[in-house]
Chain A
Amino acid sequence: GAGVSQTPSNKVTEKGKYVELRCDPISGHTALYWYRQSLGQGPEFLIYFQGTGAADDSGLPNDRFFAVRPEGSVSTLKIQRTERGDSAVYLCASSLLGQGPYEQFFGPGTRLTVL
């Protein structure tokens, strides 16, 4: 596609529910990143994929958060037993792998609200 797309654009859920957030990277981009942005803050790294595997998941806050990228393209961020503190904008970015300058391109984000 022309750019990174994310669905849904908005998600409202109740505390304790399970949610899935989807990211479609730019075609041909093998590096994919998830970030989380709270109000008034810059984005914070969650997890980074090279192809199908998670190269770095050190930013995931706890084991309720999990992400997959089974075919090396679309990625899904999964949050179990959601808490009010999970409310934020979840951003996805992609870049080319293996060659500089490694510019990251961001999607529009998914705004998650946990009631």
Chain B
Amino acid sequence: KQEVTQIPAALSVPEGENLVLNCSFTDSAIYNLQWFRQDPGKGLTSLLLIQSSQREQTSGRLNASLDKSSGRSTLYIAASQPGDSATYLCAPGPNSGNTPLVFGKGTRLSVIA
């Protein structure tokens, strides 16, 4: 059974810092991995999707990397802003592709102005 761990559970940084959120998973037989953002009381917004054949994906100030063999992914946020404050969730997708995601508990990020 896939288990996902996200470290740290919570993080508070001053505005402008670069930061790294970590995600580890126990079953490396994944098809893809998605990173999501969740604002309080809201649904999930997809940030980046990395397919198993890829090493990284970039979108603006966000960069996600994937090391499938070691069961790790990182989300790098450059020049953090207060608007980045949210919970970040990673979710590997099973090897069969179009199947349910397995989520970690998330990292709660606060960026202080």
Contact = CB atoms under 8 A, between A and B. Distances in A.
Interface of A: 4, 6, 31, 33, 35, 40-45, 48, 50, 56, 59, 91, 93, 95, 97-98, 100-109, 111
B66 to A, nearest CB: 13
B43 interface: yes
A101 B49 contact: yes
A107 B43 contact: yes
A106 B100 contact: no
B42 interface: yes
A63 to B, nearest CB: 20
Contacts of B101: 33, 43, 45, 104
B53 to A, nearest CB: 10
Contact of A43 (B41, B46, B99, B103): B103
Contacts of B103: 35, 42-44
Given A42-B103, A109-B42, 12 more contacts: A33-B100, A42-B104, A43-B89, A100-B32, A101-B51, A102-B31, A104-B34, A104-B46, A106-B45, A106-B46, A109-B43, A111-B41
